[in-house]
Amino acid sequence: MRRDLVAIVHSGYWSLYLLLLGMMLALARGPHATARSGRALLVAWPVLLIALAPNAGAFYASYGPLFSRLLARQRYCSVFAGGIVVSLAAAGVGLLLAALLFGLRQPVFAKSSELLGLSLSLALVAAVHVAIALVIRGFVGWFGAAGRVVLPLAAGPHAVQRELDVIFVKTEQRFEKIRLDEILVIEGQRDYRRIHTPTRRLMTLQTFADFERQLTPHGICRVHKSYMVALDRIDTIERGRIAIAGLDVPISETYRESFFTRIGHR
C-alpha cells in the first residue's frame, strides 16, 4: 500500500478517536457545556493526554514489533501474551501520568477498589487499540501484497513476472519462510546477507550466487556486488542509484547493462 494511503488510514483513525473523546468529555460536562466545548477540551488536556499517549504507544507497539515478530509468523499464543503485556504497560503509563498530572491525593489512588477499576479500564482501552492496530497492519500488508502477485515489468523477451511463491532462508537458529513478493532488497554485509522486507530484516550466510540462482527468474536482480533488488518494487532510478522503499541502492558498472536490459532500457 502506498505511504500516503497508509498515512490517511492512520490520521483518520486517530481523528475519529479524538472526536469520540471530545464527545465523551462534552457529555460528561453536561448538556449546557456544548457551546464551550472547545474551551472545555483545552481545560481537559490532562485527560486527553492520559487517554491518548498510552494508547498511541500500545497501538504502534502492536502495529510494529508485535505484528512483524509474532503475528506475521503465526505465533498466536505469543501475540495474545504480548497484547496483554502491552495493554498492562499502557495502563501503567496512564496511571503514572494521572499521578503526575493530578497528584496522588486524588480519591481514586486512596481506595484500592477504585484504583483497580481504573487500571482495568485503562488496560481494556489499550487492548482495544492493540487489536485494532493488528487488524489495520494485517489489512495494509494484505492490500499491498494483493496488488503485486503478478506484475509484468517490460514487454518482449525480458518481461518479468513475480509469482506468489516462497523460499526458506537459513538464519542462525532456524529456517525462515519468506514470500518472494515481500523481498525488497538483499544487502551484503561482509559474510552475511541482509534481506529487507516491509516488516522485518533477516540475516543469513547464504551467498549472492545462491540467491541469483533462486531469485533471478522471479524478478529480483543483481545491481551491485553488495545488492540485489526486486524490480517491481523500485520507486525511482536516478544518477546510478535506485530508490526502493526508503532504501538507497547503488548500481555498479559491472551490472548496469544487465540491469537496464531487464527493465527494458538498454
CATH number at residue 217: 2.40.50.1020
Phi-psi region of 168 (alpha: psi -120 to 50; beta: other; left: phi over 0): beta
Q: Is residue 9 located within the same domain as residue 59?
A: yes
- Do 25 and 125 lie in a common domain? yes
> Residues 120, 160: contact at Cβ < 8 Å?
no
Between 30-34, 140-144, 162-166, 174-178, the lowest mean confidence (pLDDT) is in 30-34
Q: How confident is the model at residue 67 (pLDDT cuts 50, 70, 90)?
A: confident
Whether 190 and 122 share a structural domain = no
Mean pLDDT of 238-264: 91
Q: What is the pLDDT of residues 114-165, one digit of tens each?
A: 889 989 999 999 999 999 998 888 777 666 544 443 344 444 444 444 444 8
Give the model's pLDDT for residue 161: 46
Quickly state the pLDDT bin for 47 (edges 50, 70, 90): confident
Residue 225 DSSP SS3: coil
- Show Cβ contacts of residue 120 under 8 Å, excluding neighbours closer than 6 positions: 91
Full domain range(s) for residue 181: 166-262
Q: Are residues 77 and 209 in the same domain?
A: no
Higher local confidence (pLDDT), 40 or 225:
225
Specify whether 11 is located in the same domain as 122.
yes
Sheet containing 227-230, strands listed edge to edge, beginning at the edge strand earlier in sequence: 201-204, 192-196, 185-189, 227-230, 220-224
- C-alpha 131/C-alpha 31 separation (Å) is 33
Residue 217 clears pLDDT 50, i.e. is over it: yes
Q: Above 70 in pLDDT, residue 52?
A: yes
Q: In terms of domains, do 7 and 132 share one?
A: yes
The mean pLDDT of 22-31, rounded to a whole number, is 70
Phi, psi of 230 (to 5 degrees): -85, 115
Q: State the total domains in the chain.
A: 2
User: Is pLDDT of 105 > 60?
Assistant: yes
Total Cβ atoms within 10 A of residue 85: 13
Domain contains 85? yes
Amino acid at 262: R
Q: What is the mean pLDDT of residues 16-39?
A: 67
Q: Does residue 44 sit in the same domain as residue 173?
A: no
